[in-house]
Structure 1
Amino acid sequence: MANEPEMYAQLRVIVDKLVPLSDEEWAIFQTFFIQKKVDAKTMLTREGQVADEIYFIHTGLARLYYTTENDDQITAFIFSENLFASCLESFVQQIPSTQNLETLEPCSLLVLTRDGLERLYNLVPKTNIIMRKVMEQRFISAQRLLSSYILSSPQERYELFAQHYPNLLQRVPQYILASFLGITPVSLSRIRKRISRS
């Protein structure tokens, strides 16, 4: 398990960038986050389940994906350190999820339940702003991804990903990265070879 004070200290750094909390507010806020350590390939939320938790990733990677009728997996988002991961539509609306949330690496997480969040809204009102900003960031990321599918070539999408997330290029399996970029693994391999020659 990651060092406990370090996990909570890192959460506070990220939260304070969204909305600074007083020491009194933080003392309450942090008690609602429970430590959890999981292995790679752990399903945090399965399609059809109602997402009841949101996860702050201290270490590790997770991915959000859809399963098609042909059992293909389409990656919608990749979460790395210092991000809040959840099947948000299911979590917010408390409806069965159309997505799966799975770890790609062993993860150290801080977990906030839906009930805990509702209590925090009352006990620490700034939580409302924190969650709004977390959701705004997810919305912007989703819009950028959608725009890149419409406006950018596969190679441009890869180059944008490499520019914004260079640390993930070697950590994310190639077939998952290809799915996220909307291309085949063979196309991704060709793009990488082309870029390495240029």
Structure 2
Amino acid sequence: MFQNINNYAARSVNLTTEETALFNEILEYKKVPKKTRLLQAGDICNFEAYVNKGCIREYVIDENGAEVTLQFAVEDWWVSDLASFQDQSPAHMNIETLEDCDLLLLTRDSKERLLTEVPKLERMFRLMLQRHLTVVQKRLFKTISTTAMEKYLEFINRYPNIPQRVPQHYIASYLGISPEFLSKLRARSLKK
């Protein structure tokens, strides 16, 4: 159950056997069925979750009542509303499972304990946040500076297994286009 997250940590830090055991002990395992809302906008986010198995979607509701997908999280990714988790302020996003998921959770208290008792893990979380910020910045740049076809091709290139796992209208929402236009883009890309 902990092999994947231990491998994730090992890419950033070298933990002793004792530190790894404590890390695993502090994590809370949770099996969550498909179509479960982990967080509702307006609630306080009380978790950071490592996706051991499954697929999750983060989304907001725009002023017209439409769902706008912000991110997908699959195996070896973390999911949370970071601002809500950190500041204990109302969340702006919703988080829901798209598949049955096996998650490893940290609460604010358990994360604080973990970082106090295994300070090396500060580096892992710092690198994780840096990677996340880099992805968000690249996505913002792509959103304002590329065509819909370029965004689509970048998405399937960067995340090749996600299109087989999530409904197409969620991908269209992520790309900021209609599902019908996504179908046209897919058809055009297959012709090339």
The TM-score normalised by the length of structure 1 is 0.94
1:50 paired to 2:50:
no
Q: Supply the distance in 1 between the matched residues of 2:59 and 2:30 (Cα, whole angstroms).
A: 22
Matches within 5 A, 1:120-131: 120-131=114-125
Percent pairwise identity:
36
Provide Cα deviations, 1:71-108, integer angstroms capped at 9, x if missing partner. 21101111010111111111122111001111111101
1:3 equivalent in structure 2: none
Partner secondary structure for residue 42 of structure 2: coil
1:4 equivalent in structure 2: none
Q: Supply the distance in 2 between the matched residues of 1:126 and 1:170 (Cα, whole angstroms).
A: 37
2:20 equivalent in structure 1: 26
1:92 equivalent in structure 2: 86
Please state how far the C-alpha of 1:115 moved relative to its aligned partner: 0.7
The number of aligned residues is 192
Q: Supply the distance in 1 between the matched residues of 2:45 and 2:122 (Cα, whole angstroms).
A: 19
1:114 paired to 2:104:
no
- Residue number among 159, 177, 181 corresponding to 1:165 in the alignment: 159
2:34 equivalent in structure 1: 40
1:174 paired to 2:173:
no
Matches within 5 A, 1:124-163: 124-163=118-157
Provide Cα deviations, 1:97-149, integer angstroms capped at 9, x if missing partner. 00111111110111111110011121110121111111111111111110111
Following TM superposition, the consecutive aligned residue runs of length 4 or more in structure 1 with deviations greater than 3 angstroms are: none
Partner secondary structure for residue 25 of structure 2: helix
Please state how far the C-alpha of 1:70 moved relative to its aligned partner: 2.5
1:192 paired to 2:186:
yes
1:9 equivalent in structure 2: 3
Please state how far the C-alpha of 1:182 moved relative to its aligned partner: 1.0
Please state how far the C-alpha of 1:164 moved relative to its aligned partner: 1.1
Q: Supply the distance in 2 between the matched residues of 1:55 and 1:20 (Cα, whole angstroms).
A: 21
Unaligned runs of 5+ in 1: 1-6
Partner secondary structure for residue 166 of structure 1: coil
Q: Supply the distance in 2 between the matched residues of 1:127 and 1:91 (Cα, whole angstroms).
A: 18
Q: Supply the distance in 2 between the matched residues of 1:120 and 1:97 (Cα, whole angstroms).
A: 24
**What value does the CA root-mean-square deviation take over the aligned residues?**
1.0
Q: Which stretch shifts more, 152-161 or 17-26?
A: 17-26
Please state how far the C-alpha of 1:10 moved relative to its aligned partner: 1.0
Which structure has the highest helix share of the two? 1
Q: Supply the distance in 2 between the matched residues of 1:34 and 1:149 (Cα, whole angstroms).
A: 36
Q: Supply the distance in 1 between the matched residues of 2:12 and 2:131 (Cα, whole angstroms).
A: 11
